[in-house]
Homo-oligomer: A and B are copies of this chain.
Amino acid sequence: MVREIDVWFTMGSTYTYLTVMRLPQVERECGITFRWRPFHLNTILQEMKHVPFRDKPTKSAYMWRDITRRATLYGLAPKLPVPYPSKNSAHANRIASLGLEQGWGRDFVRASYRRWFEHGDPNGEEPNVSETLRAIGQDAARVIELAERPEREQVLVAETDAARSLGIFGSPTFSFGSELFWGDDRLEDAIAWATRGTLARG
């Protein structure tokens, strides 16, 4: 049986950097297929009247330190803090969604996050979007035009509805059946659950 875990994420999320950077290696090692599903988390957070980290300098300081420590564990070297929140993560979500359909989505997401977390240029903003697309061999103007067509936003709205129905309220969230695992630090839990139906490691 092929096991699949859905990875729900928004390009505006900070901790998602850790996940998208380490996921290809994790996927090779665990034999599970991960389905990348961008959605508009901001829509759900606004419905919940919750904006994480805004006006919370103490919590934000902890977040950057926590991400830095964990990035080191994963062999990554971000330069934090970086500008946050990104002003147009919805735009980046639409491009990621298009790219995942067309086969270059994972490259886009990872390269875009590198630009944000290692060079300070936020996801969804320029020059990040155009330069990332060019760097992965895409026609930036053409992709942006396609991504901003109404039908792409319809895909995002449908995916956001699906996320809401599952009870998702954060990014990244891993889902396996009806079980949710919220946060990059729950990736190993999700894998254990999908593999053995328990959090215990093999």
Contact = CB atoms under 8 A, between A and B. Distances in A.
Contacts of A28: none
Given A180-B65, A182-B66, A185-B185, A58 B167 contact: yes
A65 B72 CA distance: 30
B169 A72 contact: no
B50 A198 contact: no
Contact of A72 (B56, B59, B185, B199): B199
B62 A180 contact: yes
Interface string A128-168: 00000000000000000000000000000000000000010
B73 A198 contact: yes
A65 B200 CA distance: 16
Given A73-B199, A73-B200, A169 B59 contact: yes
Interface string A54-83: 011011011001100110110000000000
Interface of A: 48-50, 55-56, 58-59, 61-62, 65-66, 69-70, 72-73, 167, 169, 179-180, 182, 185-186, 189, 193, 198-200
Given A56-B169, A58-B167, A62-B180, 16 more contacts: A48-B56, A48-B59, A50-B59, A59-B169, A62-B167, A62-B169, A62-B182, A65-B179, A69-B193, A69-B199, A72-B198, A72-B199, A73-B198, A73-B199, A185-B185, A185-B186
9 contacts: A48-B58, A58-B169, A62-B169, A62-B180, A69-B189, A70-B199, A72-B198, A73-B199, A73-B200
